[in-house]
Amino acid sequence: MNTLLSHLLKLEAAKTGQHCSASAVDEDGYDLWLRYRPLADPRRSAVENAVRAFVFGAASPTMTAARKELERAFFAMLVKCVPVLDDGEICDGAVVAGTPENLPLIAALDLPLSDLGKEGYCVSSLTHDGKRVTAIAANTDIGVLYGCFAFLRHIQTGGDPAKIDLASAPKLDLRLLNHWDNLDGSVERGYAGYSIWDWWTLPDYVNRRYVDYARANASVGINGTVLNNVNAAPEILNDLHLQKAAKLADVFRPYGLKVFLSVNFASPSALGELATSDPADPAVQQWWKDKAREVYRLVPDFGGFLVKANSEGQPGPGDYGRNHAEGANMLADALAPHGGILIWRAFVYASDPGTDRATEALSEFKPLDGTFRNNVLLQVKNGPIDFQPREPVSPAFGQITKTPLVMEFQITKEYLGQATHLAYLGPAFEEVLKFDTRARGAGTTVSRILKGEVFPQKVTGIAAVANIGTDRDWTGGTFNQANWYVYGRLAWDPDEPAAAIAEDWVKMTFTDEPGFVRTVVDMMMGSHETLVNYMMPYGLHHQVATGHHYGPGPWVSELDRPEWNPTYYNRADENGIGFNRLSDGSNAVAQYSPEVAALFADPHGFDERYLLWFHHVPWDFPLTCGKTLWEGLATRYDEGVDGVSRMMKSWESLRPQVDSQRFEQVRAFLQIQHREAKWWRDACLAYFSAIAHRPLPEGHAAPAHTLEHYRTIHFRFAPGDPA
């Protein structure tokens, strides 16, 4: 059933006072968490009494966007239009939105705006001239828009419409989405269809989806988007594609969303305009200066470039005997006159079999710390390998102190079951952000480092690889939307609890009925640990099948580069399992502060979460629970499968409260997840049992098939597979 018909049915039900069951009206997920639905009494009466009219500041593209959002939302929730009063008018129950500059009434209210900066907002219930009003105020128009979304979230999540006291400002300057979208419409590691950017029809045709994309990002405070893949095609910088990017920038601008582009370091020569791309060559330097000038002519508020260089075959300054700082500084100098940022990814590793891949990024960039221009930011993945289900924090956080660092998370679940497995990433993000690096004593958390509270930095930021595509629900599944949402909220405030964010998302996406919310939030908060258990418990990592990273492959050992092979990481043999990163191994532990290194060196540290990441231990190694490692592994794999079973039962109990379309999709995905959790469990235990020459511990069922059966499972044309 389409969205319009769905709204009409619910509007009619609300007007007549009839009950409209959730399962009677299907929803396709397009509205995301901006899902404004008719309110039922007494809630509707309370909101109607508190929102009787709007007063808006002087029109601008951003103020117009704010006005449209409030009018759209309250028309849907109250089933009627809320009148708009002229500037200077006010009534009991007025909602007043503006800045001191565009609405004199805001200046008269004496609101606490001085500490809110350019993007912060204040939403307050107060009395003015004897009338009850709600003020949505900020220092800038974009702050007003953010405040409008905060006001709507307060209403959507059941807050008292007559008692509001909200004030918030972002803790990080840059809050970016990284799209790994290619110019041919494919998306690397994308599991929700094709790229939403239709490069073929841009700039002439502007899909409404682009506006709704910008609305969704503004609603959680995301303020920048990198349009294309870090494995960048040089053609993104030709005139044709820059015109297309400029059109998207025009669409996004009212929503505070700046455009960034990933660029190929070898663009001057790859486009055939120069014979070299050597950053020390004056002609190359001038080429980039001219290109930056061209970009800013088309997009005056362009954010900057993102670069992946000398990594996984991408060209970079190393091709010309130059280091990363020399390459980054050349691009930064081209952007600097225009106020642009150069974001340089620190995801690099070589193919030396004697070098631990986990150590390479810090080894490469630590000697260069302090040599980058002040408009260069290093973008560092949350862990030292590659978005694994669980990784220790990258040692760069706390060890690189003179160059601003941008955290890089991954929203798209490349290694986490892709689109079909329910894995709410809020707890995983939270685990990283709260991690205490001890780099400047106790309390030196990653969050504080990112916010510039430990090592002062001119610009702060965070980024995440998007999971967005052309699927009607945007993300290839309802619960995948929650990962986009929680990332945005944590980008605004890295210290916000993941559980509270999940609760808001459930209320906005489904219903605020307490039993429903409690059940779904419990599912979400336990889902990541469940996935870790059935995939890679106790610090195992990179045990996926090759290329597409779909399904288990702990036996893979034949790939050209040693660090692409799962056996490189599990090191399983008849004596034990795990990667020795202690002083008598790769010594990766030495890259952390002494206090953290000591905890990692303790095999029981951190509740054994990272045991096999840092230690090669015997199969009979005693765990704190009293079991041997072999028994513990079997137990964790079983707990993972059982965890999915519990989620299936919980979801089934909610059938009467969810529309049938979304209910059936989640139900089917949980069935897929359960089947694949058993696949992971059986394949991994079959392999490790064979390697260890040990039967499964007593009480644990044998795998459903032979090891040879699991080794022969292969996939072609998997979604998001760059091959």
**Residues designated catalytic:** 312, 386, 414
Encoded tokens for 607: 């509740």
Complete DSSP assignment for 337-392: GGT-EEEEE-------TTS-HHHHHHHHHGGGTT-S-TTEEEEEESSSSSS-SS-P
- Give the C-alpha distances (Å, rounded to integers) separating 406 from 71, 343, 446, 605: 36, 8, 11, 27
Q: Which two tokens stand for residue 109?
A: 């209210």
Q: How far is CA 620 from the centre of its chain?
A: 38
Q: How far apart are CA 321 and CA 134, in angstroms?
A: 61
d(CA 660, CA 665): 8
- The two tokens of residue 275 are 């014979």
Residue 98 C-alpha from the chain's centroid: 30
Whole-Å CA distances, 214 to 379, 471, 494: 23, 17, 21
Closest-CA residue to 381 (of 366, 361, 403): 361
Structure tokens at 482: 């929650």
Strands (E), 384-465: 405-410, 461-465
* Residue 482, CA distances (Å) to 396, 509, 641, 683 in order: 28, 9, 22, 30
CA atoms lying within 13 Å on the CB side of residue 203: 14
* CA–CA gap between residue 431 and residue 429 (Å, rounded): 5
- The residue assigned the tokens 């809020």 is 426
Q: Among 624, 630, 633, which residue's Cα sits nearest to residue 602? A: 624
Residue 146 to residue 143: CA distance in whole angstroms: 5
Cβ partners under 8 Å of residue 554, min gap 6:
543, 566, 567, 570, 572, 683, 684, 687, 688
CA 49 – CA 328 distance, rounded (Å) = 56
Q: Label residues 132-162 b or e (16+ Cβ within 10 Å = b).
A: bbbbbbbbbbbbbbbbbbbbbbbbbeeeebe
Q: What DSSP string runs through 8-56?
A: HHHHHHHHHT----GGGS---STTTT----PPPTTHHHHHHHH-SEEEE
The residue among 346, 257, 345 whose CA lies nearest residue 303 is 257
Largest CA distance in the chain: 82
